Every structure is written in structure tokens, then in C-alpha cells.
Structure 1
Amino acid sequence: MNSRNFVLLALLLNLLYTPGAHARVSFQNSGTYVTRASVDAGSPIAIYSGFVASENVSGVKVRLEIRKVSESGTISSDALVVNEFPNESFVAGQPRTYKSSYLIPGTAGPGKYALAAFLESSTSGATLYSRTAVTSKNSFMVVNQQHAAYVRGINIMDMGIAPSALPGVHGVNYTRPTFASLQILKNRGLDVVRLPFLWERAQHALGGPLDPGYMGLLIQTLKDCRAAGLKAIVDMHNYARYTDDEGKKYFGAPGGPTREQYGDAWARISAFIRSDADAYHAVYAYDIMNEPHHPAGSSGLTGAQIWEQYAQAAVSAIRATGDTKLIHVEGYAFSSASRWPSQHATPFIVDPASNVMYQAHLYLDNDSSGTYSLAFDEEEALSIAQGHASVGARAVARLKNFSDWCTQFDQRCFLGEFGWPGAHFVGAADARKWNHAGDDLMSFMDAVEMGGTLWATGSWLTEDGNILNAYVLPRDGHSFKALSPSEVLENHRGRP
């Protein structure tokens, strides 16, 4: 994954009125940054440029350019590429962010480039000027570099649904995706599916054997994935707990699963999958635990520290079987992208196979819950009140906490869950706004070369089945239908 720097441009933008005018509008930069510190010629780069006006002003032309910087530090008078926003209005004190996606021409030579910003207005004969200083914070390098591969896909809510029905009955409490559904998803341009499953269904008693019927369904799903040309993420969807007849038992709590029992489960699951070559071939990664969160035990350790110990136990157990597949490790506190650095100061897994990828989750609503209880305009107002230019800008800022951590420690990272409401629940007008915010998020994912799986679809979901549903799959009399969130996912395909 490439480095990104948070950029604070040294921009001085003053609105000068014609002689006799007494008002003066000043502009300040608010959180401008590039998504890459270096880029190849012929490749895209995104720059987010934020401005705040001291007074209300309209009719402003915003022109953002990339210009070559000489070895002596002089900015070229010729623009390499230009993005213009011709008729902008600013409300006093309200930040506005402009996402400029640039394609660096293939003819661009290596070296330093800088962003130049110009704002002009014909209102009252006024003109806006800008100055751009060349510093290490407002420039990036065009270089020859190798781009990271990444996959994009979706979560399928089938084998992990109805967690209150344990172990449950196939066809009554849970199901599995059909081969036809997997083929359709592949034909829509997806690379990978994340397959949540429940530990209690796979292993009815801690330390006991795996359930052959339930695991057989997982094996067949993986084989169907391979036949359809999809990869799969095998996701233990248990939140760092195990439920038996006595109730929920938390990692690190008295009576809860031990690290050895947790490692034993993953060693058995890995061996079971490896016993079928076609199923094993389809595995993209083992996601060893979905969204760990639980009370800290009596050991005096924090919840995050307890989870780190358990995660290491699972990784070590899988590797002890000789399995070298990619392992996804989520973070404590629901694997929140925005809270990741506050939970994990540094990477916490030692992997003898050097094949670990950290996985975070991110939802775009105010409380990051994914419940989306507010209308889009209410969310937009809250985003602005929190200092963000938009819902999309807030989502990017949340993900940037995680992606910056990944860059700092040179770790591969993945966004395992993200999603937003579809038109089937919120109507066409709001769905367009949510899609725009989702596009902002996925554009940033493209720029930092991060894979991800949208939440969600499922064999039993209909148009009115879930606010975040992205596809109605063909089953039980329902015809396939792509719902509005899928438009954004399919416009931001992976690079396997």
C-alpha cells in the first residue's frame, strides 16, 4: 500500500473588492490532503481541498491545478492537469471540500509536483488571488512504483444469520448461497465474497469435533465459489464470544472460551477446509473473528489487549497445521476504522508465514452503527457541525485513521464491512445522496489501494428485507435485482 500524507497547504486566499468597497472576505484552508505521496505517470491521484470563507460569497470559480516543480523549487507557469468548479457559493464559516480526481498523464516526467489553487469571482468586480508555497507538505512525487493488488466484493448473509437459533436448522434458520447467485455476482464484476458463519454451528462444544453437516455446507459453498471464479473470506461471525446452554461466554472472562479452545477451533476449521482441494483453493482469507468487543476480564488487561492475545492464539494454531493462507485480523471495539489507532498502538500479530492483513469496518452514519436512523440531510448537517464538509468527507476521515496506521507500520489492510441505505428503503432522492457519499469513500479506497466487501446481500433478503441490501438474489420466486448501493460498488472494481 502506498504512503499518503496529510497535507496542510500554505494557501493565502484573499477577496479584494474594487476601490471603495469596505467588506473583505478571507479564505482559509481546512484539511486539504492528497491520497498518495507518490504516483506513477498514467495513474490516478485524488486531492481533497477544503476552504472556509469568513463571509458569505457566491459566484466563485474554484480552479485546482497540478503543476511541475523544478529542482530549484519554482512552480511551473503551465498546468499539467486542471479541475474547475465554475460557480461556487460559500456560507460564512462553513467548510467546503472539493474532491479532485486527477489522471497523471503518461507523458509526465518523474519529479516533484504541487497543487496550486486559484479562486476568482466576477461578483462586484472582485477577484480572488492565491499563493502556493512549495513545501514537502503540499507536493507529491511522480515515480515508477509497483501498485498493490486488491479485491472488491460483498458479504453474503446466509450461514451466519439467526444467531439466537443455535445450532439451528438448515433451510429453516439459515441457508447458503446458490451457485447461480455466485455466478451472477462474479458476472457483475465482483472478485470476492465474505461468508459469515457461526462458531456454535461449526463446533457444538468447545474443544469438540466439528459438525460435518454444517461444515459440509461451507465446503460446498467454497467449491461453488471456485467454480464461479470467486474467492471467499471465511468469517467467524461471533464478536469474541461463544454461546452455549449457560449463555454467552466472553473472551477473557471467567468461564469464557480459553485461548487454547479458540485456537483449537481454527485449527480444526483450517484442516477441514484443506481436506478438499477445490474448497481450499477458493479461500482468499480466514477472518478469524468478526467485530470483537466484550467486557475486560479480571486479569487487569484491557479488552483490546485480551483480544490481541486471542488473535495471536488463532494465528499460531492455524500456522501450526501448515496452513499458509492469508489471515484477516480485525480490531477491538467492533473493528472500527476511525477508532483503530486508539485501540491498537502498533501491529500485534507475529506470523511465521508473513501473511496477515488487518481488517476494519466502517459505516457512514453519525454513530457508525450502520442502523441509519436519520435522513441524509440530517446526517449532512451533523457532518458539517462536526467540522466535515459532507457525509462523504466524514467517511473518508474515518477511514484515513485506519489507512494512515497501515501506512505507518507498513501493513496490508482491508475494509471488511461498509455500506449505506438503498432506494428501496430511503427513496430515490436520498439514495442518490448516499451513493455520492459512498462514492467518496470508495474513491479514497481506490487511491490508497484498499480492498473491501460491501455489506450486504443474502439469499433470503428481498427489497424490503434490509436497509443495506445491495442485491436481490434469484431464489424462492425472486428474480435477481441490483439495488442502488451496488452501482457504487460496481463502479469501483478490484485489481486482483
Structure 2
Amino acid sequence: MIITPTSAYQSIAFMKYDRPKLTTSKRVLARGHLVAGTLATALLVAAVSHPASAQICLRGVNLAGGEFGGSEGDYGQSYIYPSVETLDWAASRQMTAIRLPFKWERLQPKLNGPFDSAELTRLVEIVRQANGRGLTVILDPHNYAEYQNDRLGKGNVTAADFANFWSQLAPVFSGNPLVVYGLMNEPTDIGSAVWFEAAQAGLDAIRATGANNLVLVPGNIWSGASHWFDDQEGGSNAELFQNISDSADNFAFEFHQYMDDNFSGTNPTCPRVKDAILALEGVTGWMRQYGYKGFLGEFGGTSAPDCLAGLDEFGDYLASQRDIWIGWTAWAAGDWWGDYPLSLQPDAGVDKPQINVLKPYFQDLDRQCG
């Protein structure tokens, strides 16, 4: 398959979002409404234009903040996009990509309705700023396969609604090789066949607009590599997604994998590094068998010694399998993390120990992947 992208909380407890037995209040519905189409076209003219070139390894961090907030809240108070200083930092560390979480509900306040003009403007502008620094942006609707607490396939939200969302977003960045479309963050608590239908519908909707951008397709159950082969009603991720279809033949599978005792990314130490690597080896073999590529959208740990050693092992393993893995983004930097133990955000200009471990992989001279 063709892979074409190029180089480029406040007071939050020790947690990693929606995990089993965890709760989240990060669901804010932005106010206002306007049609996206005309506005998007006008804004896109101002975006940076880049020709497609070699397949560059996408290596960087998640820049969290756009997905923060409660059920109500304003920009700059409940949620935030990366600052210029944070983007400068990412570029200065020779990262080539950032994964940018945001909320489906904020961009599209009503299912099948028009996009919110203010939120779309913010999203286009942060992409423009990142692209201008040579950073590929992976757009990440950080919703766990739900919309306003309504789980896809279990209530009023359907695969058609999900397809409508992507039919409006895809044209905004169509043809920009420095923008990658991540279909959905960590689908969970959803039937495997239901998620496969929605993923295929989203991918088809993107291609129907004429957009040929790289698309990242996640699996069910938190996108976990460790869950790829799990038995589910309707079939495992491995069984279902070997049949994914893309008319542009430009997609990769997105996996997440943590190293703590339950693979959740919510614990202070990383005792399961070897098990996590085995999970990556398993999906690597599956992708090699079927001729697919992969992207590791989330992994990370605290500054505990076993976590730092694990980050190094992850970087080394993924570099050794660069024919399959097109890159990765570690979890997570962002301006509002405060003392969150997994934060990768620099402290007064000083890099976190986790970033110091990852730097050699950012700066790897052999940058070709896939």
C-alpha cells in the first residue's frame, strides 16, 4: 500500500482518560454554529502547501489539550490547543509529527449538522502553524467511539453519523500530505462488528470526498495491540480488519500499547515491558502476513527507571521494524498537564527524562519508514 505523509489539565489526577473504572469530565460542547464548507475552503487557501515526497517516519508526541474539559466550557478555560512555544519545542527536538486530540462534539455540535465555525478556525490554524514548522499533524477525534456520552451503535449514534463527520472534515485538509486522518481514538465498549462497520464507513466517506490523505484505522478495545487477537462477538480485530478496504490504498492500522501492570497507562511503574513488546511483535507479524503497515499512536510511562528502560526498548523495536511501522507518537505533551506523571511537556525549558530517552529516535538519520 502507498504511504505518503512527509516530514514534517489543569489539576488532573494520575489517570489516562477513559479506562476501565476511570471517569472523565472532558466533554465540552462548544457554542455557535456555521456551515463548514465555504469557510473551510477559504481557510485552506491560507494553509501551508507541501508536495508529497519520501515516506518519512512519523515520530513525535501527542499534544493534548484540545480534548480536555467538562460538559460545558470555553476555549482557553476548559480546553486548549498547543501553544506556539510547544510547537517550537516539538520542532526543535527534530520530531516529524504530532498527534492532535480534539472533540467531535466541539467541531460538530449537532450530529449531521454543520461544523462550528470558531472551532474549525482554531483547528485549521493550529494545523497551519504545525505544518509551517515541518510537523505532520495527525488529527485525532478523541472520543472512544462515542458522541456526547452516546456510544456508537448503542443509542442514537450510527455509522452514518460518523461518516457524515468525516465527509465534512476530510475536504478541509484534502491534498495536504502533512495532515493524517486518525479515524477515532480508542474505540471501546462497542461490538467489534459495529466498530468495523463504522471504521469502513468513515474511511469510505473520506475517499468519497476525493481526499487521498493517509488514514489511520484503529481497532476495538482501546486500540490495544494486546487486544488485537482477543475473541469478540462478531470476530477479533485481527479477523475483521484483514478485510478493510481503501480505494486510495493509503492507510495504516493505529495501535496503542502501554507498559504498566494492566496496559492502561495509569500506573506509576512499568513492570510489563516484555509483555508489551510481545504484543507489538504479534501485530507486527499479522501486518507482515497481510501486507499492512502500522502506527503506534500512544505509548508512554513515568520517569520511573523501568518505564524509561521500556521507552528505549519500544524505540529500538519500532526502529528495527521500520518496514512495517511508519512511526509513533508518545503520550503525551501539552500545555496544561501540570504535574501529571506521564507528562512529556518541558518544565521551564528542561526536557523530561522520557524525552531524553526518545531524542535519539527523533534524531535518527535513517528516517525512511514503511
- Fold equivalence (TM over 0.5): yes
8 Å contact from structure 1 (residues 165, 173) kept in 2: no
- Is 1:394 matched up with 2:281? no
8 Å contact from structure 1 (residues 339, 401) kept in 2: no
| 1:481 counterpart (333, 336, 350) | 350
Query: Relative contact order (alpha carbons < 8 A, sep ≥ 6): 1 or 2 greater?
Result: 2
How far residue 211 of structure 1 moved from its aligned partner, in angstroms, is 0.4
Secondary structure of the corresponding residue to residue 100 of structure 2? strand
User: Please, what TM-score do these two structures have when normalized by structure 1?
Assistant: 0.59
Structure-1 separation of matches of 2:242 and 2:359: 32
CA deviation digits over 1:223-252, x for unaligned, max 9? 001111111000011111111xxxx21111
| 1:178 counterpart (49, 72, 83) | 83
How far residue 281 of structure 1 moved from its aligned partner, in angstroms, is 4.9
| 1:469 counterpart (331, 343, 348) | 343
Structure-2 separation of matches of 1:401 and 1:339: 10
Secondary structure of the corresponding residue to residue 176 of structure 1? coil
Structure-2 separation of matches of 1:395 and 1:439: 13
Structure-2 separation of matches of 1:204 and 1:350: 29
Instruction: Please list, as runs of the form range in 1=range in 2, the aligned pairs for 1:332-411 lying within 5 A after superposition.
Output: 332-342=220-230, 343-344=236-237, 345=239, 346-373=241-268, 375=269, 379=271, 391-411=272-292
Aligned to 1:415: 296
8 Å contact from structure 1 (residues 419, 438) kept in 2: yes
Structure-1 separation of matches of 2:316 and 2:256: 16
Aligned to 2:152: 251
Structure-2 separation of matches of 1:153 and 1:204: 30
Q: Percent identity?
A: 31
Aligned to 1:32: none
Aligned to 2:218: 330
8 Å contact from structure 1 (residues 155, 455) kept in 2: yes
Mark the runs of 5 or more structure 2 residues left unpaired by the alignment. 2-53, 231-235
Structure-1 separation of matches of 2:286 and 2:56: 19
How far residue 209 of structure 1 moved from its aligned partner, in angstroms, is 0.4
Aligned to 2:15: none
Mark the runs of 5 or more structure 1 residues left unpaired by the alignment. 2-146, 296-302, 380-390, 423-430, 473-477
CA deviation digits over 1:88-137, x for unaligned, max 9? xxxxxxxxxxxxxxxxxxxxxxxxxxxxxxxxxxxxxxxxxxxxxxxxxx
Structure-1 separation of matches of 2:147 and 2:321: 35
| 2:162 counterpart (250, 255, 262) | 262
How far residue 148 of structure 1 moved from its aligned partner, in angstroms, is 7.0
- Is 1:231 matched up with 2:132? no
How far residue 396 of structure 1 moved from its aligned partner, in angstroms, is 1.1
8 Å contact from structure 1 (residues 235, 286) kept in 2: yes
Structure-2 separation of matches of 1:241 and 1:481: 37
Secondary structure of the corresponding residue to residue 189 of structure 2? coil
How many corresponding residue pairs? Answer: 303
| 2:67 counterpart (156, 160, 168) | 160
8 Å contact from structure 1 (residues 223, 282) kept in 2: no
The one-letter amino acid of 1:367's match is: N
Secondary structure of the corresponding residue to residue 416 of structure 1? strand
How far residue 480 of structure 1 moved from its aligned partner, in angstroms, is 2.4
How far residue 306 of structure 1 moved from its aligned partner, in angstroms, is 0.7
8 Å contact from structure 1 (residues 151, 192) kept in 2: yes
Aligned to 1:22: none
| 1:271 counterpart (163, 168, 171) | 171
How far residue 320 of structure 1 moved from its aligned partner, in angstroms, is 0.6
8 Å contact from structure 1 (residues 406, 412) kept in 2: yes
Structure-2 separation of matches of 1:413 and 1:178: 29
The one-letter amino acid of 1:392's match is: V
Aligned to 1:213: 118
Secondary structure of the corresponding residue to residue 295 of structure 2? strand
Structure-2 separation of matches of 1:260 and 1:156: 29
| 1:282 counterpart (161, 174, 178) | 178
- TM-align CA RMSD: 1.9
Aligned to 1:317: 205
| 1:453 counterpart (329, 336, 339) | 329
Judging by fraction of residues, say which structure has more strand: 1
8 Å contact from structure 1 (residues 420, 434) kept in 2: yes
Structure-1 separation of matches of 2:245 and 2:344: 36
How far residue 442 of structure 1 moved from its aligned partner, in angstroms, is 1.5
The one-letter amino acid of 1:293's match is: T
Structure-2 separation of matches of 1:480 and 1:363: 26
Secondary structure of the corresponding residue to residue 329 of structure 1? strand
Judging by fraction of residues, say which structure has more helix: 2
Any runs of at least 4 consecutive aligned residues in structure 1 with deviations exceeding 4 A, and if so which? none
Secondary structure of the corresponding residue to residue 323 of structure 1? coil
8 Å contact from structure 1 (residues 179, 228) kept in 2: no
Secondary structure of the corresponding residue to residue 341 of structure 1? coil
User: Please, what TM-score do these two structures have when normalized by structure 2?
Assistant: 0.78
Structure-2 separation of matches of 1:484 and 1:334: 26
Secondary structure of the corresponding residue to residue 170 of structure 1? coil
